[in-house]
Amino acid sequence: MLHIASAYVPSPAVAEEVVQEAWLGVLNGIARFEGRSSLKTWVLRILMNCARRRRDQERRTISFSDLRTLEGDADPAVDPARFRTGTDPWPGHWLSGPKSWSGIPEARLLSREMLQQVRRAIESLPRLQREVITLRDLAGWSGAEVCDSLAITDTNQRVLLHRARSRVRAAIERYLQQ
């Protein structure tokens, strides 16, 4: 629940408060649970509503990443230079695929520093991408659950997830090249 709340609010301390508020909401409203969805979905929906309400209270300005999301995300998910051009016999195919991480020592990949880089990359994503990748990859939700909870289409969810994963991977690649 803390991971999901962190996707909405600006700091870990506020995320902890949101989780506490959500648990209070669950305890106060458990008698009204009708069973139309799973208990997990119901509880996490309460959490997301609390987190959104708190985010709105915390933010008095709109961040640049949110403005970009509202205007439409025009940046390509993957650098176009990594694909073959129209003069190539295989235009649009990978010129150079994503680099394998198999040669990197496991200790470095699992280090605390790497986890911090991944967290920073996720935090820098536009709001909807951050929400989708958090729910899918950190919370383990299915695509249908994400679509239902965020009220987005399946196609939109897949595009947002692809862009988010691509950007996180690019940030990790930049970090590993250092």
pLDDT at 29: 92
Give burial (CB, 10 Å; 0-12/13-18/19+) of 8: buried
**For residues 2 and 15, is the Cβ–Cβ distance under 8 A?**
yes
pLDDT at 97: 64
For residue 5, the cross-strand partners are none
- For residue 82, the one-letter residue type is R
Give the phi and the psi of residue 36 in degrees, each rounded to 5. Answer: -75, -15
pLDDT at 59: 65
| Mean pLDDT score of the chain | 82
DSSP-based three-state secondary structure for 94: strand
Q: Where in the chain is the domain with CATH 1.10.10.10?
A: 63-178
| pLDDT higher than threshold 50 for residue 162 | yes
pLDDT at 161: 92
Say what the alpha-carbon torsion angle 98, 103, 104, 110 is, to the nearest 10 degrees.
Answer: 90
pLDDT at 75: 66
pLDDT at 51: 92
pLDDT at 70: 45
Rounded to whole angstroms, the maximal C-alpha distance in the chain is: 65
Q: What is the per-residue pLDDT across 17-32, written as a single tens digit (0 to 9) for each?
A: 999 999 999 999 999 8
Work out the number of other CB atoms within 10 angstroms of the CB of residue 16. Answer: 15
Give burial (CB, 10 Å; 0-12/13-18/19+) of 44: buried
- DSSP type of residue 3: H
Q: Structure pTM?
A: 0.54
More confident residue, 162 or 73: 162
Q: What is the per-residue pLDDT across 85-119, written as a single tens digit (0 to 9) for each?
A: 878 887 777 777 666 666 677 766 667 788 888 88
pLDDT at 61: 45
Give DSSP secondary structure letters for 79-90: -GGGB--TTSSS
Nearest to 48 by CA among 163, 146, 140: 146
CATH class of 63-178: mainly alpha
Residues in the chain, overall count: 178
pLDDT at 95: 77
CA distances from 142 to 45, 69, 72, 151, 164 (A): 14, 23, 25, 14, 16
- DSSP type of residue 151: T
Q: What is the per-residue pLDDT across 39-84, written as a single tens digit (0 to 9) for each?
A: 998 999 999 999 988 888 876 544 555 545 444 555 666 777 777 7
